[in-house]
Structure 1
Amino acid sequence: MTIFNPQKLLCDMFNDAIDAAQPKYTLPPFIPNPTNGKLMVIGAGKASAEMARVVEQSYTGQLSGVVVTRYGYSVPCSKISIIEASHPVPDQSSIDAAKQILNTVKDLTEHDTVLCLISGGGSSLLSLPFEGITPAEKQTITKLLLKSGATISEINCVRRHLSAIKGGKLAAACYPARLITLAISDVPGDHINDIASGPTCADQTTCADALSILTRYRIAVPSHITDILCQNLSETIKVEDPRLKNSEYHLIATPMHALSTAANRAKQAGITPYILGDTIEGESKDVAKTLAGLTYHIKRHNHPFKKPCVLLSGGETTVTIKGNGKGGRNVEFLLALAIALKHVPDIYALAGDTDGVDGMDDIAGAYMTPDTLERAWSQHLNPQQFLDNNDGHHFFELLNQQVITGPTRTNVNDFRAILIV
């Protein structure tokens, strides 16, 4: 008999992970001192509005600027304009925001400073197609890539090479001003050119790489876009570019920090945490089967870890969409995990996205209990049919096992916790 509530512990760990990445804690140490020049604040991402508010509250000099965030993620700011746009597929507001941000950094001098606030979601929210590519064409390509099973690194490589602002091009536009980028990482490995597709950092990938990815996933594109890539017309900014010499980049929050904070909560409850990694990728269902095998082995043999324990992991899995249900990669993982574990007792799990949105719906994720499958069958719900239809949100909604946080205004990617008691 346990002396704690497993569901509450998992939810507390998830909330702690989110709280650890809040800009109010992570951003102030990196704010520059006032200078004689201008301070222009720009940014893009699900956390950008909250980051902007923290800058306004902390900076003692004069400032102005504009940032773009997801619809519903805006917060009140008095000096920095907040634009809302679409995620994960860009819309006209994404384009308008990109143009306004470029206009904001136009004609700055070496005496001025640009503070760029970047977080997950910026790839969609800050969107300006390269000359000759229409917004509709870029939207279509983005939608096809998101459904293809491509990794986030592959998707962002294509995004950078179809863009007039990503892949270091925003940094080039800020020159000769000093550029300070403060970023919250939401990508496996914290690769900075993948966070919001790297608008302010050098890029090692090429147009040829982008073309190869489109070919690999059989994404058909118009011939003029193929020509742009083949002729290297939309190439990104490279590390030797002199326009990057006044640029610096700081990661202020990462997935590993969030997982470590959640681990501390488990320790306080007398549960030993094991962080399996913050860079786990792959098809959600396959990752679930692998972790289910490890979980079952621990439950049965107390090896390689002893019970009670909790397995923590982060990263960004993918879903190759074949059905027409409502779902996201975290509920897809959780449903596949429940099916793989069958009815093993004393195993609980939670999977959610730290930005509060798993997939296209404003639902962070869900939790699993030992009787999840039993409860589903009692309601005449076939779990495998829901999984085959990529309908995880609907499945957990019917069981009243969804995790709904609302806008968290931060984003350090996926959070998965499997509790074995």
Structure 2
Amino acid sequence: MSQTSSTAQRALEIWKAGVRAVDSETLVSHAIRVTDQGLTICGHTIPLQGHERLLVTGAGKAGSGMAAGVEAALRGSALAERTSGWVNVPADCVRPLAMIHLYPARPASLNEPTAEGVYGARQILKKISDLEPDDICIVLISGGGSALLPAPLPPLTLEDKQLVTRLLMSSGATIQELNCVRKQISAVKGGRLVQAAGCRHLFALIISDIVGDPLDLIASGPTVVDQSTAQDALQVLQRFVSDPAEIPESVWSILKSEQTPAHPQNSVRDATVFNQVIGNNATALEAASHQALALGYEVYSLGSANEGTAAETGVELAELCLQLQAGTGPVPRPACILSGGEPVVDLSSSPHPGKGGRNQELVLAAMQRLWDESLSGFCILSGGTDGEDGPTDAAGGILDEHSLKRAHALQLNPALYLRDHNAYPILAETGSLLKTGATQTNVMDLRVAIVE
């Protein structure tokens, strides 16, 4: 960002307080307690006999911090000496740890499955299947885990799986329909990671990046039993694909086969699994609210379940700011509006979309709405709590009166950029990009709007 107003600086301070509250290392380290006699995770205690091995595995954008949190909680204990691990994370989140190997399963800012991710998933499956019944497994799950933990069922290839995924997405399938198919052709999703485990006790610590914290959707639920069937997946494909030849034959053969994937010989089918959400968007929103109150603002929270389109959300926040200035808003000034969730960008209207992400488009839409208004002492900030926003190096954007004036001075037309879903260039020109780098957490987006 270029030089910003004091209002924008306070908005950023509030946003950062929200992100700090879902710091993955802190959340995990607080969830685990260990003595020579027992291991307690989120209130569940397992007696230790002194010979158990602990495997730490998982995938997600918060995986690096979560793994560090496990090591911090175990430090100095006898169990630490029997601990090992492998966690798939984005390349820019890799750092050396004492016991747990962080594996770069995809490049930074490329939220798609890769061959490296497939290799990492196979390593995880091998390690978890090698566990003995008395051993313990902790699975660290956070947003982005679906792409970071790809394990296509043979004879399916990664390319086959990507083709099916893109075809369904371009055809208008919902996330539920998409996940229904993905789980049925994966060796890890939909609870199949648990099916591969050789131990009796498995704990999944989850940082949620989805509205409502649905355990079966976060990272496609590798530790949650899938309620859908191969027949359900077939029906999804038949509904969205007019020509069966568009789908690889390997997909049809897997779904039409009644055989389930083979389980390792030492698999414990009645393993006890604890799935626990330890952080979510509501956690971040509450901390942001406390910070805003401490700075003297009246707080109006829109909650954590906001979806819709990014452009509509940006306009709505701009309208609220205008109401606050006019004295007709939900709270008196100085006011801070907080909002969480994850809107989408509708690319259907643009054959050649430009560069940006949902948070950048949201801020650009607010800029267009306020283009001809006389609004001062305001700021609208929208940022991905993971530090990523689309395939860019920005987390989102910040709009204040200074950046709005710069856009006018440069004679930039926000409507043209918005039409092409090309928010990054105009926000870069006006100094409105929010760049944080990877935060190593992920609880969707957090928005802060201030009117002094």
Q: TM-score, normalised by structure 1?
A: 0.90
Trace 1:77-88 onto structure 2 (pairs within 5 A). Answer: 77-86=97-106, 87-88=110-111
2: CA distance, partners of 1:317 / 1:145: 19
Q: Which of 247, 251, 274 pairs up with 1:225?
A: 251
Trace 1:53-92 onto structure 2 (pairs within 5 A). Answer: 53-59=68-74, 60=77, 61=79, 62-86=82-106, 87-92=110-115
- Cα distance, 1:21–1:151 mapped onto 2, change above 3 Å: farther
1:417 is displaced (CA, Å) by 1.4
Q: Which residue of 2 aligns with 1:52?
A: 67
2: CA distance, partners of 1:218 / 1:309: 49
- Cα distance, 1:252–1:290 mapped onto 2, change above 3 Å: same
2: CA distance, partners of 1:213 / 1:6: 48
2: CA distance, partners of 1:135 / 1:283: 30
Q: Which of 318, 334, 343 pairs up with 1:317?
A: 343
- Cα distance, 1:100–1:403 mapped onto 2, change above 3 Å: same
- Cα distance, 1:398–1:212 mapped onto 2, change above 3 Å: farther
- The answer to whether residue 190 in structure 2 is matched with residue 167 in structure 1 is yes
Q: Which moved more, 1:95-104 or 1:389-398?
A: 389-398
- Cα distance, 1:377–1:356 mapped onto 2, change above 3 Å: same
Return 5+ residue gaps in structure 2 as ranges. 40-47
- Cα distance, 1:362–1:152 mapped onto 2, change above 3 Å: farther
- The answer to whether residue 332 in structure 2 is matched with residue 303 in structure 1 is no
1:393 is displaced (CA, Å) by 1.5
Does the CA-based 8 Å contact 1:149-1:319 persist in structure 2? no
- The answer to whether residue 162 in structure 2 is matched with residue 139 in structure 1 is yes
1:218 is displaced (CA, Å) by 6.3
1:297 is displaced (CA, Å) by 3.2
Does the CA-based 8 Å contact 1:352-1:364 persist in structure 2? yes
- Cα distance, 1:399–1:153 mapped onto 2, change above 3 Å: farther
2: CA distance, partners of 1:405 / 1:287: 22
What SS does the aligned partner of 1:394 have? Answer: helix
- The answer to whether residue 142 in structure 2 is matched with residue 119 in structure 1 is yes
1: CA distance, partners of 2:60 / 2:269: 24
Letter in 2 for 1:345: L
Q: Which residue of 1 aligns with 2:214?
A: 191
Does the CA-based 8 Å contact 2:7-2:450 persist in structure 1? yes
What SS does the aligned partner of 1:412 have? Answer: coil
CA RMSD of aligned residues (A): 2.7
- Cα distance, 1:18–1:410 mapped onto 2, change above 3 Å: same
- Cα distance, 1:211–1:255 mapped onto 2, change above 3 Å: farther
2: CA distance, partners of 1:384 / 1:13: 29
Percent identity between the aligned chains? 34
Q: Which residue of 1 aligns with 2:24?
A: 23
1:262 is displaced (CA, Å) by 0.8
User: When the two structures are aligned, how many residues end up with a matched partner?
Assistant: 414
Letter in 2 for 1:398: E
2: CA distance, partners of 1:147 / 1:139: 12
What SS does the aligned partner of 2:196 have? Answer: helix
1: CA distance, partners of 2:286 / 2:111: 28
Does the CA-based 8 Å contact 2:310-2:359 persist in structure 1? yes
Letter in 1 for 2:103: I
Q: TM-score, normalised by structure 2?
A: 0.84
